[in-house]
């Protein structure tokens, strides 16, 4: 079990074994460093926050790739720097943000009424949403609650942290890990990778 006394290298070994507590400790230790590094590159708070999350998401997925060559913090900062530069390239190629949140049933009906969604699109969206809600039932309660508040209630991660009286980093970690589990469940149910 991870705690704040573990070295960065030990935390990465635990993260490679999918120890979420180790990721939270590493996040709490380096989130501000990663955020500041990203801000110096992207110069926009929302984008820097995205880079922060993407960086720790990659750490969660690729911690096993760290082989102990060099300082773990430098490895982490290299990931953050690369993610920041990737964000800059994407912004230059596509300056308009895409809608990436799930619509509530009320938003779906409203969109269909205004002609934004066809009847077929509305039916498919309702089907997808029902399957997503069912899949959420297989995710641990703390992660499920964070996902539901974010995607179905439209709450920001900061609002969720305040509501749950939980550190922001913990909420962000739960959302990322929950999304990963949700995608795996949906893929095993036959969804295409891009749909999941």
The answer to whether 116 and 125 are in contact (CB under 8 A) is: no
Cα–Cα distances (Å) from 29 to 102, 117, 163, in that order, read 32, 45, 23
CATH classification for the domain delimited by 8-93, as one of 1.10.1740.10, 1.20.1070.10, 1.50.10.100, 3.30.1490.100 = 1.10.1740.10
Per-residue model confidence (pLDDT) at position 54: 92
Alpha-carbon torsion (20, 29, 61, 68), positive or negative:
negative
| Domain(s) of CATH 1.10.1740.10: residues in the chain | 8-93
CA–CA dist 169, 179 (Å, integer): 15
Percent of the chain scored above 90 by pLDDT?
27
Q: Using CA atoms, how far apart are residues 161 and 168, in angstroms rounded to an integer? A: 5
The reported pLDDT for the residue numbered 1 is 64
In the chain, CATH 1.10.10.10 covers: 105-188
- pLDDT score, position 42: 86
Going by pLDDT thresholds of 50, 70 and 90, the confidence category of residue 145 is confident
Q: What fold characterizes domain 105-188?
A: Arc Repressor Mutant, subunit A (1.10.10)
Chain mean pLDDT for the chain: 78
Q: Does the pLDDT at position 127 exceed 60?
A: yes
pLDDT band at 3 (very low <50, low <70, confident <90, very high): confident
Can you give 63-78 as a three-state secondary structure string?
Answer: HHHCCCCCCHHHHHHH
Cβ–Cβ under 8 Å, residues 185 and 131: no
User: What is the tens place of the pLDDT at every residue in 46-56?
Assistant: 889 999 999 99
Residue 95: predicted pLDDT: 40
pTM for the full model? 0.49
Comparing 138 with 26, which gets the higher pLDDT? Answer: 26
Q: What is the pLDDT of residue 173?
A: 92
121 CB contacts (<8 Å, ≥6 apart)? 112
How confident is the model over 83-103, as pLDDT tens digits? 988 888 877 655 433 333 344
Residue 123 to residue 28: CA distance in whole angstroms: 42
- Could you tell me which of 182, 193, 127 has the C-alpha nearest to residue 150? 182
SS (H, E, C) 117-181: CCHHHHHHHHHHHHHHHHHHCCCCHHHHHHHHHHHCCCCCHHHHHHHHCCCHHHHHHHHHHHHHH
The pLDDT of residue 193:
52
């Amino acid at each position: 079990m991870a705690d704040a006394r573990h070295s960065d290298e030990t935390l990465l070994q635990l993260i490679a074994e999918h120890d979420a507590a180790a990721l939270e400790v590493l996040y709490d230790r380096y989130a501000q460093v990663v955020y500041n590094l990203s801000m110096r590159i992207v110069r926009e708070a929302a984008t820097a926050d995205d880079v922060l999350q993407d960086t720790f998401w990659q750490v969660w997925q690729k911690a096993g790739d760290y082989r102990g060559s060099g300082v773990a913090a430098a490895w982490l900062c290299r990931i953050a720097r690369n993610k920041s530069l990737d964000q800059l390239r994407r912004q230059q190629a596509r300056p308009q943000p895409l809608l990436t949140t799930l619509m509530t049933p009320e938003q779906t009906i409203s969109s269909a009424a205004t002609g934004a969604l066809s009847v077929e699109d509305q039916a498919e969206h309702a089907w997808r949403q029902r399957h997503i809600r069912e899949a959420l039932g297989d995710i641990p309660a703390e992660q499920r609650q964070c996902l539901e508040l974010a995607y179905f209630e439209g709450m920001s991660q900061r609002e969720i942290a305040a509501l749950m009286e939980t550190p922001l980093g913990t909420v962000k970690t739960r959302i990322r890990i929950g999304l990963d589990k949700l995608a795996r469940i949906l893929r095993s149910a036959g969804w295409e990778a891009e749909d999941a």
